[in-house]
Copies of this chain bind each other. A is one copy, B any other.
Amino acid sequence: MFKIGLIGLGHIGEVHARNIARHPELRLTACYSRTEARRQAFARTHGGRAARHLSEILDAPDVDAVMIAASTDSHSKLLLAAAQARKPVFCEKPVDLDLSRARQTAEQVRQTGIRVMMGFNRRYEESHAAIQRQVANGGVGRLQIVQLTSRGPNRLASRDYLRGSGGFFRDKGVHFFDLARFISDSEVEEVSAMGAALVHPVVRELGDFDTAIVNLRMRNGVLCQIDNSRTAIYGYDERIEAFGSEGWIESCRQPDAATRWTSGTQARISPFPRDIYARIGGSYYRVIEAFADFLAQRETRVPTIDDGLAAQSIAEAATLSAHEHRTVRIDELP
């Protein structure tokens, strides 16, 4: 049984707490949020004690490992603190929105020798994971093309969120840059991205994008296509496919139930899920399972800080490419 201290008690913190409860080897023993009322309420609902200071998590003997689900700008500081407290860490992406600070943190963490798992939960979505496994096992032969589509419901974040998000590629694209590396088992060489602000005036005003397409050339020759948007009025639409010399595999679009019916002479199927949890909710449990395996040293192929840095680099390159209308080599980046 591993005793978990959770830092950050927002929406994603709740998701993790519920999944910890479902796992036979994990127990939530302490939780921390800056807001006292929040941490008290959280502890009542999910069990464990409410820590009054970070040190009541980081230095506590009843905490074997730390999960960081706090706001993005505190990740690097918390990550380093946990590592220095010699506790293994699960950390939501990104290490730091600023890539050089992220690299520095990574280096400092590395020196502690403490093991860190980054929360790239999409690697654990059942059908996405099946693609990676099948490709790795040679099921599609020589991999040629990977396609990743992810379009989220049209609920525009606030102007403040958008301004602080680092732009579309850093905020939303980074999950798919990680998947492109994960599935192709290779590093990016060249990035060519096109972005557009076609729907939301505020996005255009901020010089950001609400629609984007990206081509990646991987070192091993694989070509990747990604498209993203946050303007799908019909729901959460995500799919991936991999194509190679011996076959093809797809993690399909998913309706939110398995009903088909007619309405007059029309034919209908269950609509797309209204939110991301209905589409990839299972991955949030499986990433927690992987964390338990990681703590038990049964699993070593979890996403690392280096994976996080690599995905961020691609996001940087994509941002540059889209703004300058040119192909960017990943080794151009500082």
User: Which residue numbers of A lie inside 8 Å of B, CB to CB?
Assistant: 21, 126-127, 130-131, 134, 139, 141-142, 144-145, 147, 149, 151, 154, 190, 192, 194, 196, 198-199, 211-215, 217, 221-225, 227, 229, 231-235, 237, 243, 245-255, 257-272, 274, 325-327
Name the B residues within 8 Å of A139 (CB-CB).
261, 263
In the complex, are the beta carbons of A215 and B196 less than 8 A apart? no
CA distance A98 to B73 in the complex (A): 56
Find A267's partner among B144, B231, B258, B268 (CB 8 Å cutoff): B268
In the complex, are the beta carbons of B229 and A145 less than 8 A apart? yes
In the complex, are the beta carbons of B234 and A223 less than 8 A apart? no
Name the B residues within 8 Å of A271 (CB-CB).
262, 265-267
Name the B residues within 8 Å of A144 (CB-CB).
196, 198-199, 211, 229, 231
In the complex, are the beta carbons of A233 and B265 less than 8 A apart? yes
In the complex, are the beta carbons of B245 and A199 less than 8 A apart? yes
Return the chain B residue nearest A47 by Cβ: B47
The copy count of this chain in the complex is 4
Name the B residues within 8 Å of A142 (CB-CB).
198-199
In the complex, are the beta carbons of B245 and A249 less than 8 A apart? no
Expressed in whole angstroms, the minimum distance between the Cβ of A44 and any Cβ of chain B is: 12
Extra contacts besides A262-B271, A262-B272, A269-B269 (10): CB < 8 Å: A126-B257, A144-B231, A198-B221, A214-B215, A232-B243, A232-B248, A233-B246, A234-B265, A237-B248, A265-B272
CA distance A227 to B126 in the complex (A): 25
18 contacts between A and B (CB under 8 A): A126-B257, A127-B258, A134-B261, A154-B245, A196-B221, A198-B245, A199-B245, A212-B223, A232-B243, A235-B265, A249-B261, A250-B261, A251-B259, A252-B259, A262-B272, A267-B269, A267-B270, A267-B272
Name the B residues within 8 Å of A141 (CB-CB).
233
Expressed in whole angstroms, the minimum distance between the Cβ of A147 and any Cβ of chain B is: 7
Find A251's partner among B235, B254, B258 (CB 8 Å cutoff): B258
CA distance A224 to B225 in the complex (A): 11
Find A250's partner among B198, B259, B263, B264 (CB 8 Å cutoff): B259
Return the chain B residue nearest A223 by Cβ: B213
Name the B residues within 8 Å of A325 (CB-CB).
190, 327
CA distance A326 to B192 in the complex (A): 8
In the complex, are the beta carbons of B233 and A247 less than 8 A apart? yes
